[in-house]
C-alpha cells in the first residue's frame, strides 16, 4: 500500500539507490501496484505489476498497513493544511478513505470501476476543493486499472481531471507530470515528448529520473531507438542509475524496430552491467516474440526464464496472451493458457484481461479466457448459475453484435456455467440504456418461452421520457402490446404524460401506435399536471366543457387537503359550484364511491369531513358554518342520502350543531312529499313536539318523530329539555340516545345526572359495552368532581367487560393529566394504582407523568421526587425527569436536584445525567451553565436525546433555546450539525420566518456543512412560500443533489413533512449493499437496515442469504428482533419452499416475541401443511395459536389443497384432509359449501369416494356433517331422488339442526329461493324450530321485495301467537315504510345490526351452556 501513493515529499527524500531494484519479486496488496515508481511500456490494460525489494519482509507483502502509515505521516502536514475546512467524509473528501475505497475495489475485482472513479471525481468538483494527494491518486487511477474503459477514454478522463484540478488551484509538481506520463504510456497515447518537457518547463517543474524513464519508454514503444539513445545518454551524464526498467524499454524498442537479435542481446548486456534480468525484462522479450507469432522463440524464452529462476506469474503470461491476440495470432492463445495457474488472484487478473480484450474488439479471445475460470471448469450449475455476468455486461457496453451475444449465451447455458444468460444480458442492456438491443433480446426470450416481465420495460420508458423521444416511446409501447402487457394508469401517469405535447404534436406517432395511445387520454391527462395548491388553475380547468366526468374524482383528491385549511372560502365555494355545474351538464351519475354519495358535491363534502379528525372539525366550526351558508346562497344542494351520510359523520365527530346548517343544502325536490314534510318538520323543536303528542293521542307510532325531536334538542345543547323528554318518554328512548344524553351531561358538568343515567344503563342492559372513550369521559368527569369511588368502579367495569385500551393510551393520559392539573395528586395516585392493579393497561412512563404533574402543580417537590423514586422502585420506569429538574432549578432546590441526579446516574448512567442537566439549564435560561455541561471532557453525542429536545423546542415554538443548543453543540464530538440546523429550519417553516432561514443557510455555509436533500427541500419551500427568490448558490446545490430544476416562487410547492422524513429512508438495494460492506469491515448497523436487507433477499427468493443476514444481525445486536413483516415473509417463503418445520419454528419464535403473523403467512403455512398431508402439523398449529386460526383462513387453505390433490389424482390424500376438516369443532360449516360444490363437479369416481367417506363417518363415528351437506347440495341441484335415498339411509340428518339452519340461512339471502327452502323443509319436517322457519321465510320475502307475502305471513304468525324476534320486526318495519304503509306494531328502537349482534350473542351463550 505504501507504493500506491508516493507523495512528492517521499519521492524527493528517497535515496536514488533505493530505486535500483535487482532481483525483484512481485507480490503484495493489489492497489500498491497502482503507484509503482517506474513506467512500464506494455502495461496497456491487462495486468499491471507491483515491484518490491527482494529483501522485503514477507509480512509486508500481505499486510500493508505499517508502510501505509509511514506514507501518510510524511504527508500529514500538507494534507491537514489542505483539508482543514473539511467537515465530514464523502467520496473524495477524506484522502485515507478514498484510498481505502479504491483499494477495496481492486482487491475484489482486480480493477477500479469507472462509476466509482467518476463519483469520487464529481464529489471533489462539487465541494470545490481538493489536495495534491487526491489529484495524484485520481491521475494514476486512469491507467491500466481503469480496465472498463477503452484506452482513448482513459486518457480523455485523465485530461479532464488534470484541467479541473488546475482550476481548483492545485499546484502541479514532478509527481503529477510523472503520473500523467505513465498514463500516456499505459494507454498507448501518442504524444510529443519534447512538447511534454516544454510544458513542464513552462510550469517551472524539473524532470527527474522517473520522467526520463517514462519518456524513454514512450520512444521505445514507437521503435524510435535514436531518441531513446539520446535520453539514455542524458541519464548517464546526469549520473542517474540505469535500472532494469531502462533495459526492458530497450528490449521493446529493438523489437518494435524489427531488430529481434538486438532485443535478445539486451539480456547479456544487463548481466555485464550487473543488473539481473527480472520478470519485467522477460515479459518484454516474450511480447516481442508474441507480436511476430513466433511460438518457438516464446517457448525458448520461457525455458530461459525458468533456468534463470525467474518465476513468471499469471499476470505476466496474460500480458503475452494479450499481445498475441492484439497482433492477430489468436490461434496460439490456447497453448499459452496452459501456462496459467489457478492461484488466489487468478479471477481478478483474468477479469481485467477479459475486459481489455473486449475493449479491443477481441471478445472471442475474451470468451476463451472466461471459460478457464476455476469455478466454470467445475460445471456445477448450482455454484455457477450466475457466473459470467461481468463478461456479458461488458459485451453489451462495448456494442458487441447481437449474434455474438446469442452465441455466448447459448454456450454458457449449454456448458452449465450460467442458468439464464440471455435474461442477464437483457438486464445488462436495460441498465446500460440500450433500447434497440433490449427489445431484440425480449423477442429472443419470447421465442424460448421465457417470461417477459412488465418491469423490463420501465428502464426503456424512463429513458425515452428523459429524452422526450416520442418515436422511441411508441416503439416500446408497441413492444409491450406485442408481449401482452397492458398500459395501466401507472405507466400512463409516470411515462406518457411527460411527453404528451410531443405525442399530440406528432400525429404520425399516434397513427403508428396502432390505437395503443388515445388522443382522449392524452387530453384528459392534463388534470394530473395541476399544481398541488393552485386553486385558480383547478377552477379554470373545471370550466372546460370537454372535461370527462371520470376525472372529477382526481380533482376531489387534490383539493380535499387544501380545503382542510379553509384559507379561502370564496375560492372553495367557486370550485364547489363548478363541480355542481358538471353534475348538471353530464346528466348522469357522476364519479362516486357508492350510491351513498351520488354527486360530486356530496362526494367532496363527505370525504372532506371523513378525512378530518374530531379536533380538526371543531377547530374549524365557524368556517364550516360559514361554508355551508355560502353554498346555500349559491343554491348548491345535495341529495337526501348524501345529507344523511354527512349528518351521521358530523354526529360521530360530536358536532351535531352543524346539522342545522347542513340541512340548508338538502335538495327537497328529490324527496317524496311525505318524507319532505316529516324531515322539514325537524327544523323546529316545537313542531316536532306537537307531532309526537298528536301521534301519541291517536295511538299511532311516534318513535321516528320522537327520535328526531331528541336529536334536535341535543343539537341545541338543551340539557334541561333533554332530561324532561327522558322522563316523559323513558321507555321509548334507545340505548344510543341515552348514551348521547349522558355525554351531554358530562360536557355540561352535570355529573349527578350522568351517574344516574350510567346506573340505569347498567341495570337495564348489564351486558352492554360502550365505547372506551365514553368510559374514560365518565372516569374524568367523576374524578374531577369528587366521585373517585364511582370513577374506580368504571375502571373495574372496563376490566370486567374486557374493554381494550391499547389504542387509547393517549386519551387515558389526558384524563389523568386533566385531574392532575387540579393538583389532586391523591386521586391521580388512586386511579393509577387501580389501573395497574387490575391490569387494565401495562405500566407506561407517559401515565406516571401525570402524578408528577399533580405534585408540581402543588409546588410539592418533595412528594414529586419521592414519587419518582417509588415509581422507579416498583415499576422500573423513569419518567418526567426534565419537568422535575426544570421545576427544581427554578426554585433552586439543589439538595433535591442531587437526589434526582443520583437516581439518574444509578439507573441510566452519567452521560444521561449530563444531557438532562444540559436540557434543564437551557429550558431555564442558564445558558452559561449549559455551555459548561456540554464542554465536559468525555461527553459524546447522543442522537436520541438531542432529537427529543429539538422536537420539544419545535412544538413549543422556542427558537432562542433551539439556536443556543445548536451553537453550543458545535464542538460536540460526532454531532450531526446538519440535523441540528434542520431543526431550526423546521421551526422557521412553522413560523414562516424566511429571514431566519436565510441566516441559518449562511451559517451552514460558514461551517461548510453539506445539506441533505430533505433540508434543501425544506429551505426552498420556506423561501418559495414567502415569495422570495431562491439564491443561485442554493439552486445549484439543490439541482446537483436532486437532479431537479427549481421553479419560480409562484409555482414551486412546499414539500410536506412526511416527504422530508421519507427522503432519508433507504431502499432494499441500499440496505443489502450496506450490510455487505458492514460485514466486511465489522461495523454494526441498525435493526431496521438488517430487516430491510432480509426482506430484499426474501423478495429475490434467496432464503439462505436472508437467514445468514439474520444470524449476523443477531450476533451483533443483542436486542435484535425481526419485525412483523419480516417474520411473516420468512414464514411465507419457507412454506412455499416446502420447509414446513422451519416455518412452524419461525412462527413459534414470532409468537414468543408477542407478535402476530399476517393472515397471508398463516394461510401459506396451512396450505403447505395441507398439500403435504401434515395433519399433525395442522393440529399443532391450532394448539400453538390457541385456537386463534380464523375459520375462513383454515377452510380456504385446506380447501385449496384438497382440490389440488383431487385434480392431481391423489384422492386418498384429499379424502384424509376432508375427514380432518369435518372433524374440527371450530369450523363454520356454511364456509364448506363452496368446497362441496367443487367436489360435485368432479368425476363420478371422486363423488363415489366422497359418498363412501360420508357413509363411513356417519355409520362408524356418528358424524353426519358430510352426508347432511351432500344431501342439501343434491336438493339444491334438484336431484331429489338421490337426496331422498341418502335421507332414508341416514335418519340422523334430521338431527343436524345447525347444518340445516346454516344452509337455509345462506339460501335466504338469495332472491327466488322460497320454493326451494319450502321443499327442503318438507323433506325434514319438524327438525327445525317453527318460529325460526317462519322468520327465515319472512326474510326471503323481504329479500325478494314481496310485501304482500311478508304481510300475510306476519298476520298468520300474529294470529297463531308466534313469538316474533326483534330483528324480524325491524326488517318488517323497514319493509312497511318502504311501501309507504304505517307500521302496525311498535318498531324496535335500535338498528338491525344491533339486533343481529344480540341474536348471535344469545346463540353463542346457548351453545356454551
Mean pLDDT of the chain: 75
Q: How confident is the model at residue 904 (pLDDT cuts 50, 70, 90)?
A: confident
Which residues are paired to 666 by β-bridges? 638
Q: Is the pLDDT of residue 1050 over 50?
A: no
Residue 1063 carries which DSSP code?
A: T
Q: Is 1375 left (phi over 0), alpha (psi -120 to 50) or beta?
A: alpha
Residue 32, C-alpha cell as written in the block = 500498491
Query: What pLDDT does residue 158 have?
Result: 93
Helix/strand number for the chain, H first, E second: 80, 0
Which of 629-638, 752-761, 985-994, 1026-1035 has the least mean pLDDT? Answer: 1026-1035
Whether the predicted pLDDT of 184 surpasses 90: yes
The closest alpha carbon to 470, from 430, 439, 498, belongs to: 498
Asked if 1140 and 1166 count as a contact pair (C-beta separation under 8 A), the reply is no
Give the other-Cβ count within 10 Å of 1173's Cβ. 18
pLDDT digits (tens, 9 = 90+) for 1197-1241: 666 667 777 766 777 777 777 776 666 655 555 566 666 666 766
Q: Would you give the DSSP letter of residue 34? A: G
Four-point Cα dihedral 843, 845, 846, 848, nearest 10? 80
At a CB cut-off of 8 Å and minimum separation 6, what does 1227 contact? 1191, 1194, 1195, 1221
Greater model confidence, 74 or 1142: 1142
Please, which residues have CB within 8 angstroms of residue 705's CB and are 6 or more apart in sequence? 678, 681, 688, 691, 692, 695
State the number of CA atoms in the 13 A half-sphere of 528 facing the CB: 16
Dist. CA 1103–CA 1080, nearest whole Å = 21
Minimum mean pLDDT range among 1167-1176, 1235-1244, 1301-1310 = 1235-1244
Q: Is pLDDT at 768 greater than 50 in this prediction? A: yes
Name which of 975, 961, 828 is nearest 882 in CA terms: 961
Distance CA 132, CA 11 (A): 14
Task: Pick 263 or 736 by higher pLDDT.
Answer: 263
- The residue count of the chain comes to 1409
Q: Give tens-digit pLDDT for 1087-1113.
A: 777 788 888 778 777 888 888 888 877
pLDDT of 276 higher than 80: yes
Between 57-66, 530-539, 1299-1308, 1383-1392, the lowest mean confidence (pLDDT) is in: 57-66
Query: Which whole number is the average pLDDT over 192-219?
Result: 90
DSSP H helices in 371-482: 374-377, 381-384, 389-397, 402-414, 421-431, 435-447, 458-467, 470-482
Residue by residue, DSSP assigns 1074-1138 as HHHHHHHHT----HHHHHHHHHHHHHTT-HHHHHHHHHHHHHH-TT----HHHHHHHHHHHHHTT
The rounded distance, in Å, linking the Cα atoms of 1110 and 1146 is 12
Asked if residues 48 and 317 have their Cβ atoms less than 8 Å apart, the reply is no
CA distances (Å), 377 to each of 371, 372, 419, in order?
A: 7, 7, 15
Nearest to 640 by CA among 687, 597, 693, 695: 597
Query: What is the sign of the dihedral through the CA atoms of 801, 802, 805 and 807?
Result: negative
Q: How far, in Å, CA of 1055 to CA of 1019, rounded?
A: 10
Cα–Cα distance, 571 to 573 (Å, whole number): 5
Q: What is the pLDDT of residues 408-467, one digit of tens each?
A: 999 888 888 888 899 899 989 998 999 999 999 999 988 888 888 888 888 888 888 888
Distance between CA 442 and CA 438 in Å, rounded?
6
668 or 229: which carries more pLDDT confidence?
A: 229
User: Does 401 score more than 90 pLDDT?
Assistant: yes
Query: What pLDDT band is residue 52 in, cutting at 50, 70 and 90?
Result: very low
Query: Global pTM?
Result: 0.41
CB 1066 within 8 A of CB 1092: yes
CB 426 within 8 A of CB 438: yes
**CA neighbours closer than 13 Å in the CB half-sphere of residue 1149:** 16
pLDDT in tens, 305-357: 888 888 888 888 999 999 999 999 999 999 999 888 887 778 888 999 999 99
Taking alpha carbons only, the member of 1404, 1347, 1401 closest to residue 1378 is 1347
C-alpha–C-alpha distance, residues 303 and 287, integer Å: 15
**In sequence order, what are the beta bridge partners of 52?**
25
Q: What is the DSSP letter of 5?
A: -
Query: Burial letters for 539-571: b for 16+ Cβ neighbours within 10 Å, e otherwise?
Result: bebbeeeebeeebbbebbebbbebbeeeeeeeb
The CA–CA distances, whole Å, from 145 to 49, 346, 359, 653, 951 equal 11, 16, 14, 69, 49
Indicate the Cα dihedral angle 1139, 1142, 1147, 1151, nearest 10°: 180
pLDDT above 60 (res 1054): no
Q: How many CB atoms lie within 10 A of CB 1129?
A: 22
C-alpha dihedral, 585 to 589 to 592 to 594, nearest 10°: 160
Would you say 140 and 182 are in contact if contact means Cβ atoms under 8 Å apart? yes
Residue 1172's pLDDT band (cuts 50, 70, 90): confident
Encode pLDDT of 803-857 as tens digits: 888 778 888 888 888 888 888 888 888 888 888 888 888 888 888 888 888 888 8
Report how far residue 1298's alpha carbon sits from residue 1320's, in angstroms, rounded to the nearest whole number: 14
Q: Which region holds residue 1190: left if phi is over 0, alpha if psi is between -120 and 50, else beta?
A: beta
Report whether 405 contacts 413 (CB < 8 A): no
Report the distance separating Cα 912 and Cα 975, nearest Å: 16
**Exposed, middle or buried, 400 (CB in 10 Å: 0-12/13-18/19+)?**
buried
Q: Which residue has the cell 402487457?
A: 485
Amino acid at each position: 500500500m505504501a507504493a500506491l501513493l508516493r507523495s512528492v515529499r517521499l519521492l524527493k527524500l528517497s535515496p536514488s539507490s533505493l530505486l535500483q531494484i535487482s532481483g525483484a519479486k512481485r507480490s503484495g496488496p493489489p492497489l500498491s501496484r497502482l503507484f509503482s515508481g517506474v513506467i512500464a511500456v506494455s502495461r496497456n490494460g491487462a495486468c499491471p505489476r507491483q515491484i518490491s525489494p527482494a529483501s522485503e519482509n514477507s509480512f509486508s507483502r500481505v499486510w500493508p498497513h505499517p508502510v501505509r502509515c509511514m506514507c501518510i505521516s510524511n504527508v500529514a502536514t500538507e494534507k491537514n493544511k489542505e483539508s482543514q475546512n473539511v467537515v465530514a467524509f464523502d467520496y473524495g473528501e477524506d484522502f485515507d478513505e478514498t484510498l481505502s475505497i479504491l483499494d477495496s475495489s481492486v482487491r475484489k475485482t482486480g480493477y477500479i470501476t469507472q462509476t466509482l472513479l467518476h463519483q469520487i471525481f464529481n464529489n471533489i468538483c462539487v465541494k470545490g476543493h481538493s489536495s495534491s494527494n487526491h489529484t495524484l491518486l485520481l491521475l494514476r487511477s486512469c491507467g491500466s486499472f481503469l480496465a472498463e474503459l477503452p484506452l482513448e477514454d482513459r486518457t480523455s478522463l485523465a485530461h479532464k481531471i488534470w484541467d479541473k484540478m488546475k482550476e481548483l488551484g492545485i499546484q502541479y509538481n514532478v509527481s503529477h507530470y510523472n503520473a500523467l506520463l505513465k498514463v500516456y504510456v499505459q494507454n498507448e497515447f501518442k504524444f510529443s515528448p519534447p512538447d511534454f518537457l516544454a510544458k513542464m518547463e513552462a510550469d517551472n517543474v524539473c524532470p527527474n529520473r522517473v520522467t526520463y524513464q517514462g519518456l524513454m519508454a514512450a520512444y521505445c514503444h514507437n521503435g524510435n531507438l535514436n531518441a531513446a539513445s539520446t535520453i539514455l545518454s542524458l541519464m548517464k551524464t546526469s549520473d542517474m542509475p540505469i535500472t532494469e526498467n531502462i533495459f526492458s524499454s530497450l528490449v521493446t524498442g529493438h523489437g518494435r524496430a524489427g531488430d529481434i537479435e538486438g532485443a535478445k542481446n539486451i539480456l547479456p548486456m544487463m548481466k555485464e552491467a550487473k543488473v539481473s534480468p527480472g520478470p519485467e525484462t522477460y515479459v518484454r522479450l516474450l511480447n516481442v516474440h508474441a507480436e511476430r507469432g513466433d511460438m518457438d522463440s516464446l517457448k525458448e524464452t520461457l525455458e530461459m526464464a525458468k533456468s534463470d529462476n525467474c518465476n513468471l506469474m499469471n499476470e505476466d503470461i496474460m500480458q503475452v496472451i494479450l499481445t498475441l491476440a492484439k497482433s492477430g495470432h489468436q490461434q496460439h492463445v490456447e497453448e499459452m493458457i496452459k501456462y496459467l495457474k489457478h492461484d488466489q488472484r487468478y479471477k481478478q487478473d483474468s477479469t481485467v484481461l477479459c475486459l481489455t480484450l473486449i475493449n479491443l474488439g477481441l471478445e472471442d479471445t475474451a470468451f476463451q479466457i472466461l471459460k478457464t475460470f476455476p469455478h466454470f471448469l467445475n460445471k456445477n450449475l448450482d455454484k455457477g448459475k450466475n457466473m459470467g455476468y461481468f463478461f456479458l455486461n461488458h459485451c453489451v457496453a462495448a456494442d458487441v453484435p447481437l449474434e455474438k451475444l446469442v452465441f455466448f449465451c447459448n454456450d454458457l447455458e449449454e456448458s452449465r456455467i450460467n442458468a439464464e444468460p440471455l435474461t442477464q444480458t437483457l438486464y445488462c442492456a436495460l441498465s446500460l440504456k440500450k433500447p434497440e438491443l433490449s427489445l431484440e433480446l425480449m423477442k429472443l426470450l419470447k421465442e424460448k418461452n421465457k417470461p417477459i416481465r412488465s418491469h423490463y420495460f420501465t428502464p426503456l420508458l424512463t429513458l425515452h421520457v428523459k429524452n422526450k423521444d416520442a418515436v422511441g416511446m411508441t416503439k416500446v409501447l408497441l413492444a409491450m402490446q406485442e408481449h401482452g402487457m397492458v398500459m395501466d394508469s401507472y405507466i400512463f401517469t409516470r411515462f406518457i404524460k411527460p411527453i404528451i405535447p410531443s405525442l399530440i404534436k406528432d400525429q404520425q406517432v399516434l397513427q403508428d401506435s396502432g390505437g395503443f395511445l388515445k388522443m382522449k387520454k392524452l387530453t384528459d391527462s392534463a388534470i394530473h399536471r395541476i399544481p398541488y395548491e393552485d386553486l385558480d388553475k383547478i377552477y379554470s380547468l373545471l370550466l372546460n366543457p370537454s372535461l370527462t366526468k371520470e376525472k372529477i374524482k382526481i380533482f376531489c383528491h387534490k383539493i380535499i387537503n387544501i380545503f382542510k385549511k379553509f384559507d379561502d372560502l370564496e375560492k372553495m365555494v367557486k370550485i364547489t359550484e363548478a363541480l355542481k355545474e358538471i353534475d348538471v351538464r353530464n346528466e348522469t351519475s357522476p364519479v362516486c364511491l357508492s350510491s351513498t354519495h351520488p354527486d360530486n358535491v356530496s362526494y367532496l363534502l363527505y370525504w372532506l369531513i371523513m378525512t378530518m379528525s374530531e379536533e380538526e372539525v371543531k377547530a374549524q366550526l365557524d368556517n364550516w358554518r360559514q361554508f355551508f351558508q355560502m353554498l346555500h346562497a349559491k343554491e348548491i344542494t345535495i341529495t337526501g342520502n348524501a345529507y344523511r351520510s354527512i349528518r351521521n359523520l358530523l354526529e360521530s365527530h360530536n358536532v351535531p350543531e352543524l346539522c342545522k346548517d347542513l340541512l340548508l343544502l338538502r335538495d327537497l325536490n328529490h324527496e317524496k312529499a311525505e318524507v319532505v314534510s316529516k324531515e322539514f318538520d325537524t327544523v323546529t323543536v316545537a313542531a316536532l313536539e306537537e307531532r309526537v303528542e298528536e301521534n301519541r293521542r291517536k295511538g299511532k307510532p311516534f318513535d321516528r318523530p320522537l327520535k328526531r325531536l331528541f336529536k334536535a334538542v341535543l343539537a341545541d345543547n338543551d340539557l334541561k329539555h333533554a332530561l324532561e323528554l327522558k322522563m316523559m318518554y323513558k321507555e321509548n328512548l334507545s340505548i344510543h340516545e341515552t348514551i348521547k344524553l349522558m355525554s351531554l351531561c358530562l360536557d355540561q358538568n352535570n355529573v349527578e345526572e350522568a351517574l344516574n343515567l350510567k346506573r340505569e344503563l347498567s341495570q337495564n342492559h348489564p351486558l352492554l359495552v360502550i365505547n372506551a372513550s365514553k368510559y374514560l369521559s365518565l372516569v374524568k368527569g367523576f374524578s374531577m368532581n369528587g366521585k373517585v369511588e364511582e370513577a374506580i368502579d368504571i375502571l373495574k367495569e372496563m376490566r370486567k367487560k374486557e374493554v381494550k385500551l391499547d389504542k387509547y393510551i393517549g386519551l387515558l393520559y389526558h384524563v389523568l393529566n386533566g385531574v392532575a392539573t387540579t393538583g389532586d395528586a391523591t386521586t391521580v395516585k388512586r386511579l393509577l394504582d387501580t389501573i395497574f392493579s387490575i391490569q387494565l393497561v401495562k405500566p407506561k412512563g407517559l401515565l406516571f407523568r401525570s402524578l408528577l404533574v399533580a405534585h408540581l402543580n402543588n409546588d410539592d417537590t418533595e412528594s414529586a421526587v419521592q414519587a419518582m423514586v417509588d415509581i422507579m422502585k416498583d415499576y422500573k420506569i423513569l419518567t418526567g425527569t426534565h419537568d422535575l429538574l426544570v421545576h427544581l432549578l427554578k426554585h433552586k432546590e439543589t439538595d433535591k436536584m442531587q437526589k434526582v441526579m443520583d437516581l439518574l446516574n444509578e439507573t441510566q448512567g452519567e452521560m444521561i445525567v449530563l444531557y438532562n442537566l444540559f436540557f434543564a439549564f437551557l429550558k431555564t435560561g442558564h445558558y452559561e451553565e449549559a455551555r459548561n455541561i456540554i464542554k465536559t471532557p468525555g461527553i459524546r453525542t447522543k442522537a436520541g436525546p438531542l432529537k427529543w429536545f429539538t422536537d420539544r423546542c419545535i412544538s413549543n415554538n422556542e427558537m432562542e433555546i433551539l439556536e443556543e443548543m445548536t451553537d453550543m453543540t458545535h464542538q460536540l464530538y460526532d454531532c450531526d450539525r446538519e440535523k441540528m440546523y434542520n431543526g431550526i429550519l423546521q421551526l422557521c417553516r412553522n413560523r414562516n420566518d424566511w429571514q431566519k432561514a436565510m441566516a441559518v443557510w449562511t451559517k451552514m455555509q460558514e461551517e461548510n456543512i453539506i445539506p441533505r436533500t430533505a433540508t434543501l427541500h425544506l429551505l426552498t419551500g420556506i423561501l418559495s412560500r414567502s415569495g422570495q427568490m431562491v439564491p443561485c448558490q442554493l439552486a445549484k446545490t439543490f439541482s446537483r443533489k436532486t437532479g431537479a430544476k427549481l421553479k419560480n416562487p409562484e409555482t414551486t410547492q412546499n414539500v410536506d413533512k412526511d416527504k422530508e422524513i421519507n427522503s432519508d429512508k433507504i431502499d432494499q438495494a441500499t440496505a443489502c449493499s450496506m450490510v455487505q460492506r458492514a460485514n466486511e469491515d465489522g461495523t454494526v448497523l441498525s435493526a431496521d437496515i438488517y430487516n430491510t436487507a432480509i426482506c430484499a433477499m426474501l423478495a429475490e427468493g434467496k432464503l439462505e442469504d436472508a437467514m445468514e443476514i439474520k444470524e449476523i444481525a443477531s450476533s451483533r445486536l443483542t436486542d435484535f428482533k425481526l419485525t412483523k413483516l419480516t417474520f411473516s415473509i420468512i414464514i411465507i417463503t419457507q412454506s412455499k419452499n416446502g420447509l414446513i418445520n422451519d416455518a412452524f419454528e419461525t412462527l413459534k419464535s414470532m409468537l414468543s416475541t408477542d407478535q402476530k403473523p399476517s393472515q397471508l403467512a398463516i394461510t401459506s403455512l396451512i396450505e403447505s401443511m395441507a398439500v403435504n398431508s401434515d395433519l399433525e402439523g395442522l393440529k399443532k398449529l391450532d394448539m400453538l395459536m390457541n385456537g386463534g386460526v380464523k375459520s375462513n383462513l383454515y377452510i380456504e387453505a385446506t380447501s385449496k389443497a384438497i382440490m389440488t390433490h383431487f385434480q392431481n389424482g391423489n384422492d386418498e390424500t384429499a379424502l384424509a384432509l376432508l375427514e380432518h376438516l369435518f372433524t374440527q369443532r371450530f369450523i363454520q360449516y356454511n364456509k364448506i359449501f363452496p368446497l362441496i360444490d367443487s367436489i360435485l363437479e368432479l368425476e363420478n369416481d371422486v363423488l363415489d369416494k366422497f359418498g363412501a367417506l360420508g357413509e363411513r363417518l356417519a355409520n362408524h363415528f356418528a358424524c353426519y356433517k358430510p352426508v347432511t351437506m351432500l344431501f342439501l347440495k343434491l336438493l339444491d341441484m334438484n336431484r331429489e331422488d338421490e337426496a331422498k335415498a341418502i335421507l332414508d339411509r341416514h335418519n340422523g340428518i334430521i338431527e343436524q339442526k345447525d347444518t340445516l339452519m346454516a344452509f337455509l340461512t345462506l339460501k335466504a339471502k338469495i332472491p327466488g329461493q322460497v320454493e326451494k327452502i319450502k321443499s327442503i323443509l318438507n323433506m325434514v319436517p319438524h327438525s327445525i324450530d317453527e318460529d325460526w322457519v317462519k322468520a327465515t321465510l319472512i326474510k326471503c320475502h323481504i329479500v325478494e321485495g314481496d310485501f304482500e307475502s311478508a304481510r300475510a305471513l306476519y298476520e298468520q304468525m300474529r294470529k297463531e301467537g308466534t313469538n316474533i324476534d326483534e330483528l324480524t320486526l325491524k326488517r318488517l318495519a323497514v319493509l312497511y315504510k318502504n311501501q309507504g304503509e304505517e307500521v302496525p306494531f311498535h318498531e324496535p328502537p335500535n338498528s338491525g345490526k344491533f339486533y343481529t349482534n344480540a341474536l348471535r350473542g344469545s346463540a353463542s351463550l346457548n351453545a356454551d351452556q
